Structure 1
Amino acid sequence: MTAEFPPKYIHGYQEEEQQRLRHQALVIEKRIYDFIDFSNCRKLLEIGSGVGAQTEILLKRFPNLQITCVEYEPKQIIKARENMTQLGFGDVQVIFIQQDAKNLQLEDTFDGAFICWVLEHVSDPIQILVSMKPFLKAGAKLVITEVFNTTFYTYPEKKEIMEYWKIYNDYQSNIGGDPQVGARLGDLLSQSGYQGIELRSGGFHLDSREFEEKRIVFDYWKNLMESASPALLEEGLIDHQQLKSMQEAMDSLKEMKESVFYYRFIQATAFA
């Protein structure tokens, strides 16, 4: 069975990272989910469900859903089941299946599908989109949210941040991912045979007018960048001083009233 993720996964599977994923999902929830409507769906397929960070939000927003979560990494499934149990969600509402999303073998069909922050980690996203299609009912709604990392910008610009960010993105590309995959979603869906494709750009443009939210987002983004540090340190791509310099620069921008945080992700809606 081929791995769903590249041989090296940029964020790793440490417990701290598993907790970060849940926190990240809640910080960015409104920006993503205010434009998602699964109220007419009953059975939802979630690809790359990880620790259930997005599953949790989906179930809270759309309690009518029965979600089948496909995840390749067993450690993430164990944590996801723990999280769902603590939140009071049982097997009737969510089940987890350990499979390679490039070669799905499911026993059910679905009237909706959801992918969030997953395609950035795979070398050939079309394989996943094609593999899903036989398990989606005619007219099933698919929603994908993906990164477009070249859009990240801060004012004032900090060399320590941008150099680290370049190393982060270059590493993700080198291990088989695509940190700009959001920009390609329209073509990827079209080539995979989906219809009614619509794209929107979401994200953050925060300045002194949203000071408290900006502080939260700077912290969130620093944690995101830190999540790659074990891999980057192990590969010798950064040293501890570079990591510390990035962290300090992000902290300084967080407290600066006139600083700006800017980032865009891409969200696609399509139908089977």
Structure 2
Amino acid sequence: MSMSQNTTSKYIHGYLETEQERLRHQAHVIEKPIYDFIDFSSNKKLLEIGSGVGAQTEILLRYFPNLHITCVEYENRQIAKAKENLQNLGFDESKVEFLNQDARNLKLNGKFDAVFICWVLEHIAEPLRVLQSMKPFLDIDAKVVITEVFNATFYTYPLVPAIMDYWKIYNDYQVSIGGDPQVGARLGDLLEEAGYKNISIRSGGFHLDRRNPLDKRTVFDYWKNLMSSGAPLLLEEGLVTEVQIKAMQTAMDELSERKDSIFYYRFIQATAFA
């Protein structure tokens, strides 16, 4: 889950190359639940806020080859990786361009008929400012699609303290550095306050049990890696120990192999118009 900017330089997932690759893998694991409900087929100029390593950008261009995408990203290291990734896939400046800006204070040329934001507002202390900042650069009736976390919905059966205690530390830390791991629940209010119209909200995600063991294993592994991505910073801050990290990872592996285990999580997806 990528970032645009928060109140500090701290980003819970970090910028290591392993994390940059995890973001791409994550995007593909969770692609279908997100993109089954997105249609930019009639749009031409899309603004992507918090494009990170281009993990979502490459999916957008695959689904909607009609688009030219302008990617706004705060962290230059992510932009460099995104350029590399997209060039390797054959996408050049005719399809995508990158701007190094703070999404709360955009300075853009021209107008856009669509906006895409995914796993970004959770990392920003003032998400309303992002929605307000981009509005002057949108055509009338431009389509806005935002997908965000609602981390309070994460549940496993059976509940394992080693997992849930770590998850609480992880989320509390994100709050302490200016983020909001429940921001998905606020998308309707934020969009309305920023002056958008025809706002609709849906819940997507996973409810995996013994009926889909392969998907369940894949998602447990993906989620373990997501949680582990915060480990270096949590260790550095003295909030977890190596023992706690290993216990969480082992418990996630064990649940992924249990026939009777359950993985449940909901994200929130909002569609609105300028």
Question: TM-score under structure 2 normalisation?
Answer: 0.98
What amino acid is aligned across from residue 4 of structure 1 in structure 2?
Answer: Q
Q: Contact between 1:6 and 1:121, CA under 8 Å: does it hold in 2? A: no
Contact 2:12 2:230 in 1 (8 A): yes
- Match for residue 149 of structure 1? 151
Whole-angstrom CA distance in 1 between matches of 2:136 and 2:268: 25
Separation (CA, whole Å) in 2 of partners of 1:121 and 1:4 = 7
Aligned to 1:106: 108
Amino acid in the other structure paired with 2:7? P
CA distance in 1, matches of 2:226, 2:66: 32
Q: Secondary structure at the match of 2:144?
A: strand
Paired residue for 1:87?
A: 89
Does structure 1 residue 18 correspond to structure 2 residue 20?
Answer: yes
Count residues with an aligned counterpart. Answer: 270
AA in 1 matched with 2:95: Q
Q: 1:256 aligns with which of 255, 258, 262?
A: 258
1:209 aligns with 211
Moved over 6 A (4+): none
5 Å-filtered alignment, 1:1-272, equals 4-7=5-8, 8-272=10-274
1:262: Cα distance to partner?
0.1
Letter paired with 2:104: K
Identity of aligned residues (%): 69
Q: What's the TM-score once normalised by structure 1's chain length?
A: 0.99
In the TM superposition, residue 6 of structure 1 has moved relative to its aligned partner by 3.3
Secondary structure of the residue aligned to 2:260 is coil
**How far apart, CA to CA, are the structure 1 residues paired with 2:119 and 2:125?**
14
Question: What's the RMSD between the two structures over aligned residues?
Answer: 0.6
Aligned 8 A contact 2:6 2:177 in 1: no
Cα distance in 2 for residues equivalent to 1:6 and 1:120: 12
- Cα shift at 1:173: 0.4
